Chain A
Amino acid sequence: MSQPTQPLLDIKNLSVHYRGVGRRPFKAVDDVSVQVNPGETVGLVGESGSGKTTVGNAALGLAPIAAGQIIFDGQDITHASHKQRRAVSADLQVVFQDPYSSLNPSRTVFQTLVEPLLVHRKLTRKESADQVAAMLEKVGLAKSAGARYPHHFSGGQRQRIAIARALMLSPKLVICDEAVSALDLSVQAQVLNLLLSLQQDLGVSYLFISHDLSVVNHMCERLVVLYRGRVMETGATSGVRDRPAHPYTQTLLSASPIPNPGAQRRQRELIALAARPARPEAATDACPFANRCPLTIDVCETTVPPLTKSSAGTLAACHRKDEAAVAFTAAAEHLEDAER
């Protein structure tokens, strides 16, 4: 598999450490690599404390990078200067989770949306007003919305405004950090549809950060599964979802309830069988999942598992990925038999 194009965002062996007060530095992200190709949507999945948001923040210059390299659109932005960051920011944007604190309450929607234009484009007042109006229409809001303050809008509408702000400069990549997690199901569907249609129209890439497997499965072409700051498994979405080789990915998948009472009952029986940790007291320095994994053996406590190709086709950081993949496939077949 040769890569014809250079990745748009190339995060190489990133580590982010936060200094605790008088304590050892906390490794929020440890040796994580993620690539996003032009026009692609990549999902970063994990539970709280997995470091998924920190990876996004590092790319945006909002986190202290201890080691590694971040290349965006051919430029090294690992330790970008203010000037360099400003140049990149037209092409690299973000939509945050909280639609309430991500908009300045004392500025109108127009003021919020015109700000990126003032920084990056030299436009007349008329031209910027036209661009703001066009963008509001694109994200499904009335032109008159520009004159209002954020508190006039519902959570879903605010998220549309945040998306509009991110897209004002036609960026190449938008980092969506739990962008739909705070929204109700019907509004979430509206916003996901909006993101997909904007991607079709504008060719923008997304780095989609979420804890919600159903959302990333729907939105992303490739997934990166993180656990306690490390990559556990990565690959095409269909591979990670249907043939996961890492026991952590398997745990995560089988823990998400299926919205179908019968199927969920059978899945639950499977969890009960598989989810018993082999060594609850195992050391987690080599493999962070060793104390929760049903397959832990000696090597898991001593040697960091490399991220290599599994028999199922994904890349997994596990010493026992082949056994795990086989066990999962067998269980899935068992489930399908039960379904029939």
Chain B
Amino acid sequence: MATRAAAPTEARRRRSHLSPVAWIAVVVLVVLLVAAIFAPLLSPYSPNANDLEATYGHISAAHWLGTDDLGRDLLSRIMYGGRGSLLGVAEALAVYLVLGLTFGVLAGYLGGVLEAVVVWVADVSFALPQIIVVLSVLAIFANNSGAAMLALGILGAPGLAVFARGATRTVREELYISAARVSGLRTVPILVRHIMPQITGSVIVQVSLFSGTALLFQTGMDFLGLGTQPPTPTWGGMVAEASTFMGRDIWMVMPSGIVIVLAIVAFGLVGDAAQDVLSAAKGQGPTRTPASRIATTSQATEVVDRDETLAEVSDTARLEASREPRTPLAHVRGAEANGVRDARSDVPRGDGVLLSVRNLTVAVESSGASIVQNVSFDLRPGQCLGIVGESGCGKTMTALSLIGLLPDGVSATGGSLTFRGEDLRAMDEKQYRRVRGSGIAMISQEPISSLDPSFTVMDQIAEVVRRHSDMSRQSARAEAMTLLEQVRIPNADTVAKRYPHQLSGGMAQRVSIAAALAGNPAVLIADEPTTALDVTVQAEILQLLRSLRETGLAMILVSHDWGVIADSCDAAVVMYAGQVVEEAAIANVFEHYRHPYSYGLMESNPQFATAPRTPLPAVPGTVPPVGEWPVGCHFAARCQFASSECSAAPIALDQVERDHWARCIHTDQVANSAKVGVA
């Protein structure tokens, strides 16, 4: 039962964010409504009580808003006038909502004939001159503003219907709607529970806009004398009466005019605020992209001094505690791992090393929380280095920092990146641009979206070729064709004329590889280059990348797939929660791994299962989020070998044998149990 009690509390907490302006708008609307509804009780005078001794009065104790030409109290007339004006809006709104939402949501959800009819009717109604139609209604039902407002609601409804249909169609495609249908939920409960809450926010904006329009229309009609007749007060009628005495005294038009403006503005503001509150209640939680995940985390943490000490305990633990029960662990952030000296980072850059990374640290600027800590490795010509790990471990951020393309709000805060003897971190943007493409190039996971949809394959590659050389247009095109043949695109001259959306995933990845090769780079960074591709296409792309390396191209291959790493790499770095936990030649990574995470990740692979349909030796838990990494070993909480020393202090990346490094104090135990596992 506790579950049920807790749910509304959370909803209430999230609903309390309303801007001061929105509050004012809400208050204005409530005051106007209350004043209109309870006018007979609240108004100081009868709306039509003349006082010929007090005509054209301004603000006074007896008449707060003054009086008109017959000495009638303006405040009382506005209060009574609101009844007619707001009732008219309510009538129009009711018709608008009932017709628009019903037909719109049903058309969007059910589709078919109903949808076609609704769209057709809407199209016709958009072509109707609304004012003329309403005036004709008034010609039939003379001075009946109720009938006119109903007509306005009917004329507005198709607009809402088309809008609601569009919103519903988007939600209809969500998998939870399919799940609800599979659960056997009837159409009406699906609409009420799953579709309506999702579209309410945007519908409210439409409603608030329409309310403003309806009020304007109502007052306009009264102003022209087409609606309710004097002496019954209406806001529009009052403005009309006052306007005839404008030359004599401007004051009389003020109260009713200002009330009309206030009401219309308030309708709009309340609509906006309602949408904001509803979308906050929907919970815009962490989304899938790593960049936004980092942004979310950075919001939850605070700015701290860069030189904070190891013992500094973060208050993210408190934030975390409010969300999820978790063992209280001392958390630090920032440059914590700098407190320990990795033996790995002291290894001098050997001869013939192309790209050398030492102690690279990447952090979120706003919070100082590091997302990559003390990463060191070397890359030689023709070598392929794999970076393996799960999402959130810093693989992609490491790769992006090499090419100086970290997302906004994230930057490299420590360490050195040396490429061909030059310090990349010391370069300005102009110098870096020279290195990108012609020194270090990159291909991404989404080949189709990495190409510009509005240019043909040939145009894109020729453009890159020209950016890196002084070639003429003609020879750049010839060079582009050579590149397309180099990446073994069959019928290259036909493919060159196509646009990106006309390419298959594998073909698009070949094209983006060709574009990456245009500057004749020495290093190619491939970030999950085959993850989005089918396995047979993956094999072809990996084969292509392998053949490119025979020409001396060095590669950094980021992947979560052990098979891809085994296929292509000479050496690999295993990353966990921002740190390198193991680095070794490829055979050692697979056969003599010494870090418990490498071991666990390997064992989790169904391909290593001892027998089908038996439980896999899964690592419990998940990768801790950025900003919540413990002081000691980041993996300790999930590790079967963990002891108290593991969490006490940072663990160094130490050499276990020649060219083999592991960040663990229990490497011997790992080696022993791995052997037991094999036997």
Contacts and interface: CB of A to CB of B under 8 A. Distances in A.
A151 B390 contact: no
Interface in B600-638: 600-609, 612-620, 622-623
Nearest to B390: A184
Contact of B390 (A85, A144, A186, A261): A186
B539 A271 contact: yes
A218 B612 contact: yes
A165 B174 CA distance: 16
Contacts of B390: 184-187
Interface in B415-432: none
Interface in B572-611: 586-587, 590, 600-609
Contact of B618 (A105, A112, A193, A261): A193
A264 interface: yes
A149 B179 CA distance: 17
Contacts of B284: 151
A328 interface: no
Interface stretch (B138-146, B247-255, B357-365, B563-571): B563-571
B60 interface: no
A302 B223 CA distance: 81
A106 B199 CA distance: 11
A105 B3 contact: no
A105 to B, nearest CB: 5
A152 B323 contact: yes
B612 A262 contact: no
B536 A189 contact: no
Interface string A190-226: 1011001100000000000001011101110100000
Interface stretch (A3-11, A19-27, A96-104): A96-104
Given A197-B615, A251-B536, A147 B3 contact: yes
A112 B283 CA distance: 15
Contacts of B549: none
Interface in A94-122: 94, 96, 98, 100-108, 110-112, 115-116, 119-120
Contacts of A102: 174-176, 179
B285 interface: yes
Given A211-B534, A257-B561, A156 B184 contact: no
B391 interface: yes
Contacts of B535: 47, 211, 213, 252, 255-256
B184 A89 contact: yes
A48 B586 CA distance: 31
A331 interface: no
A122 B505 CA distance: 49
Q: Which 10 A-B pairs have the closest CB atoms?
A: A151-B285, A257-B563, A89-B184, A147-B6, A189-B618, A146-B3, A259-B562, A189-B604, A86-B184, A218-B606
Given A197-B615, A258-B566, 20 more contacts: A48-B505, A96-B179, A102-B174, A102-B175, A105-B282, A106-B198, A115-B183, A132-B3, A147-B2, A147-B3, A147-B4, A147-B5, A147-B6, A162-B179, A218-B606, A218-B609, A252-B536, A259-B565, A259-B602, A271-B539
A193 B615 contact: yes
A90 interface: yes
B539 A98 contact: no
23 contacts: A41-B613, A62-B182, A101-B175, A110-B4, A143-B3, A144-B2, A162-B179, A184-B560, A186-B604, A186-B622, A187-B390, A189-B619, A192-B606, A211-B535, A214-B605, A214-B607, A218-B607, A252-B536, A257-B539, A257-B563, A258-B563, A260-B566, A268-B543
Interface-centre pick from A47, A115, A142, A261 (highest chain B CB count, 10 A): A261
A237 interface: yes
A15 interface: no
Interface string B107-119: 0000000000000
Nearest to B200: A106
Contacts of A268: 543, 567
A219 B605 CA distance: 12
B658 interface: no
A271 B112 CA distance: 49
A13 interface: no
B490 to A, nearest CB: 8
A149 B285 contact: yes
A154 B622 contact: yes
A129 interface: yes
Contacts of A186: 390, 600-601, 604, 618-619, 622
A107 B180 CA distance: 13
Main secondary structure of the interface of B (DSSP, over half): helix
B283 A184 contact: no
B281 interface: yes
Interface string A130-143: 00110000000011
A132 to B, nearest CB: 7
Contacts of A142: 325
Nearest to B195: A104
Contacts of B12: none
B182 A101 contact: no
Contacts of A185: 390, 560, 562, 601, 604-605
B1 interface: yes
A272 B536 CA distance: 12
A61 interface: yes
A178 B38 CA distance: 61
Contact of B184 (A116, A133, A162): A116
B4 A107 contact: no
A82 interface: yes
A36 interface: no
B453 interface: no
Interface string B530-573: 00001110110011000000000000000011111111000000
Contacts of B622: 154, 156, 186-187
Nearest to B490: A280
A112 to B, nearest CB: 8
Contacts of B178: 60, 62, 94, 96
Nearest to B173: A101
Given A104-B194, A186-B600, A256 B563 contact: yes
A79 interface: no
Interface string B321-352: 00111000000000000000000000000000
Contacts of A104: 174, 176, 194, 197-198
Contacts of A237: 612
A334 interface: no
Interface-centre pick from A103, A104, A110, A254 (highest chain B CB count, 10 A): A104
Contact of B590 (A100, A129, A217, A260): A260
Interface string A69-91: 00000000000001001111110
B612 A217 contact: yes
A144 B6 contact: yes
B182 A92 contact: yes
B42 interface: no
Interface string B194-235: 100110000000000000000000000000000000000000
A110 B534 contact: no
Contacts of B606: 189, 192, 214-215, 217-219
Contacts of A251: 536
Nearest to A41: B613
